[in-house]
Amino acid sequence: MSEIRNYDDVNEVAEAAAENAVEILSLAIESSGSAIWVLAGGSSPMLAYKKLAKNYADLIDWSLVTVVIGDERLVPLDHKDSNWGAIMRVFDDNPYLSKVARVIPDVTGSVEQVASEYNRMVRQLVADKRFDLVWLGVGEDGHTLSLFPGNAAFVEPNEDWVIPVHDSPKPPSERFTLSLKALEYVTELVIFAVGASKRDALREARLKGRLPIAVAANVVESYGGEVRWLYDDAAWGEE
């Protein structure tokens, strides 16, 4: 199932995403004793991590939640471009969120080695379960994760769940990312559809275009997952 929710601005989207994360992760913990959450880099999810830390962090025993990064740039984790590093700084500053269990990427070695090792770790974590919650951002070109239009990581079929990315049009060029294959195992997907610069790509995605964000959402839905698009007015535009 797919649902669109509209909010006034990025702040409201971030607040809604944070509240929803607590709800989804709590339900997973209630039913299975633990939860798996795939994190997104980018500016709009970052605001949501901060809202989560500020307003909702005490509602969950975070030691029962394991976090995975959806895509990462091949830079040290303390580098300014590291998605993981930026998110973990928010988590570590919070007495509750700092307890979260982590599948930490090892970014030493070639992008192939790094992707292959993270693939092994993520597969081992998920085993016969599913990703309870996945957050995804959207780029101006309709990319999501590090799946860019026309790039091999998006275009070529792959059975691995984590794959290397070369020649990313958004720097840095070397990255690794969850694949479309991994998105077959998602229970709840939340998409941050925020900002005027994303409006055209999102309109195309709504028309069931072949942009990565549309394809990603479609994979999740086709394999029984729920997809929630959180729009702000700037991204939705005039209908």
- Between the CA of residue 89 and those of 14, 85, 117, 145, 184, what are the distances in Å? 18, 6, 23, 20, 30
Is 173 a binding residue for ligand 6PG by CB under 6 A? The answer is: no
Q: Which is nearer to ligand 6PG, 20 or 146 (CB)?
A: 146
Per-residue HEC secondary structure of 8-73 comes to: CCHHHHHHHHHHHHHHHHHHHHHHHCCEEEEECCCHHHHHHHHHHHHHHHHHCCHHHEEEEECEEE
**Part of the chain binding ligand 6PG (CB under 6 A), chosen from 103-111, 135-143, 149-157, 211-219:** 135-143
Residues 56-95: x where in contact with ligand 6PG by CB under 6 A, - otherwise, as a string: ---------------x-x---------x------------
Q: Provide, rounded to whole angstroms, the least separation between the CB of residue 168 and ligand 6PG.
A: 8
Contacts of 87 by beta carbon, 8 Å cutoff, 6+ apart: 39, 41, 45, 46, 49, 69
Structure-block tokens of residue 155: 């275009």
User: Which of 154/185 has CB closer to ligand 6PG?
Assistant: 154
Q: Of residues 145, 191, 214, 215, which one binds ligand 6PG by CB under 6 A?
A: 145
Binding-site member from 10, 18, 24, 40 for ligand 6PG (CB under 6 A): 40
CB of 177 to ligand 6PG, least distance (A): 8
Among 42, 142, 212, 225, contact with ligand 6PG (rule: CB under 6 A): 42
Question: Whole-angstrom distance between the N-terminal and C-terminal Cα of the chain?
Answer: 22
232 is a contact residue toward ligand 6PG (CB under 6 A): no
d(CA 72, CA 141): 18
| Binding stretches for ligand 6PG (CB under 6 A) | 40-44, 71, 73, 83, 137-139, 143-146, 170
